[in-house]
Structure 1
Amino acid sequence: MESTKNGVRIKELPEDLRPRERLAREGAEALSTVELLAVLLRTGSDSMSALDLATLVIAKTGGLLGLAECASEELYSIKGIGPAKVAQIKASIELGRRLAFEISDPKKVIKTPYDVFNLLKERMRYLDREHFIAVSLNTKHHVITIETVSVGNLNSSLVHPRELFKNSIKRSAAALVLAHNHPSGDPSPSAEDVQITRRLVEAGKLIGIEVIDHIIIGECGFTSLKELGVI
């Protein structure tokens, strides 16, 4: 049942007020955040229309940024949001992240830690778990590939030199930049971050692939372990 709070279903609204019809006629940019989310959700619940449900979701999460950062478990706690709708929301957010990442020109040259941060920040800073990423570079430090090596708390078992360098060797990489995020938002390195970095730098020397930096990304900034003197 697609009823609004006053008992009117979306399909009973005038056509110029229906989100999907407005999107087709005026373009997605003409819709509010709530309307766009309503289009994505497609349906509401027994007591709410898609618009009502979208309004509730935005109110509960504190806006679009809050929705992007919201864990699946938190979304499940919102009345009317089940597994299918959580999947729709999470998939759309990830598509948005990937689009922002592709627009940022992944084939750029890496010259400074800030270049790495700009390359990866939209992809990494709002993730709710630690993701360890390897950026492979050629001899001129152009980006060849960007690969997720592991997901979870950073530790020795998750980041093994064998797995890290295997793909870089296949791609004839001359150098690597390592990166991972801190879901807490604080990019300060832990003792284990430093330990693993040194271990991977030494492994790279043996293989002939230079690890030129390890960037830790937080919500609003980053730390370069090279600038700290770890590398």
Structure 2
Amino acid sequence: MYSISFQEAALMPRERLLTQGAEQLSNQELLAILLRTGSKKESVFQISHRILSSLSKLTDLRYLSLQELQTISGIGQVKAIELQAMMELGRRIAQAETLEREQILSSQKLAQKMQQELGDKKQEHLVALYLNTQNHIIHQQTIFIGSVSRSIAEPREILHYALKHMASSLILVHNHPSGSAYPSKNDDQVTQHIKEACQMMGLTLLDHLIVAGQNYYSYREETDLL
């Protein structure tokens, strides 16, 4: 293990980050910075080393619950909460970067992505994906969970995020827990209603997808509504 004192162990990675950048630090050093302090028995470096050594791979850290984190000697409730918050923020940053890089080239490709997210949901989810002029997703928003017939999917909720993120177009996606991806009359109404609202705002409704298990329905592919 490390023979340096606790005070030195706590300061060294911070100093290295300042002078060399975070990318130059080891996983152990980064974790030590987040933990900040050790215990009476172990330095923060020793605790960091022990945590990382107990994992099969670094990504396993993300799946530890608050309770599991607190079973680790040297990790109390506050540190467990801070670690979970850090990991969730990292997950959201990674998700946002993926969305920014992702370009929608076909309804089938997007349907496959949304099948993974919504295919097994027990309630209907209405999701809007907002795109820039290059058809890159710049934001994904769950509009509501429940029945898509609710006030025929109020366009103000959908268009609010389009304006907020300066989108040029959008795609609606919702799931059918029944297992059938075939649209209902209400789905047709929703599509027409949102299309008209988008046109008034200078936006384009590119598609409305319905996913159900491994099946999907695309209004752009199957109808002349869009």
The alignment's TM-score, normalised by the length of structure 2, stands at 0.61
State the Cα distance separating 1:147 from its structure 2 match: 1.8
Amino acid aligned to 2:146: V
Distance 1:164 1:81 in 2: 49
Give the equivalent residue in structure 1 for 2:128: 135
Determine which of 101, 106, 114 is the counterpart of 2:95.
Answer: 101
2:173 pairs with 167, 174, 177, which one? 177
Which is helix-richer, 1 or 2?
2
Could you say which residue in structure 1 is the equivalent of 2:153?
A: 165
Question: What SS does the corresponding residue of 1:104 show, helix, strand or coil?
Answer: helix
- 2-structure distance, mates of 1:54, 1:175: 44
2:211 to 214, 218, 221: 214
5+ residue gaps, structure 2, are 118-124, 163-168, 195-206
Q: Which residue of 2 aligns with 1:53?
A: 47
Counting aligned pairs with the same residue, the percent is 25
Compared with structure 1, are the counterparts of its residues 159 and 70 closer, same or farther at alpha carbon in structure 2 (3 Å cutoff)?
farther
Partners of 2:80 and 2:18 lie apart in 1 by 24
Q: 1:107–1:142: 8 Å Cα contact kept in structure 2?
A: yes
Secondary structure of residue in 1 paired with 2:37? coil
CA distance in 2, matches of 1:142, 1:201: 29
Give yes or no for contact 1:135–1:143 (8 Å, CA) kept in 2.
no
Query: 2:72 matched to 1:78?
Result: yes
The aligned counterpart of 1:205 is 188
Q: Any conservation in 2 of the 1:134–1:164 contact (CA below 8 Å)?
A: no
SS in 2 for 1:195: coil
Contact 2:130 2:138 in 1 (8 A): yes
Structure 1: state its 5+ residue gaps. 125-131, 151-157, 180-192, 216-222
AA in 2 matched with 1:177: V
CA contact (8 A) 2:172 2:209 kept: yes
Q: Which residue of 2 aligns with 1:43?
A: 37
| 1:127 matched residue in structure 2 | none
Matched, 1:226 2:216: yes
Q: Which deviations, in whole Å up to 9, do the C-alpha atoms of 1:179-224 show, x marking residues without a partner?
A: 8xxxxxxxxxxxxx64177498664322235631439xxxxxxx75
CA–CA distance in structure 1, aligned partners of residues 185 and 81 of structure 2: 41
2:15 to 11, 15, 21: 21
Counterpart position of 1:10? 6
**What per-residue deviation string (whole Å, max 9, x for no partner) do you get for residues 158-179 of structure 1?**
5332399342265577641348
Higher Rg: 2
Residues 134, 149 of structure 1: 8 Å contact kept = yes
What is the rounded CA distance, in whole Å, between the counterparts of 2:160 and 2:63 in structure 1?
35
Match for 1:65: what amino acid?
T
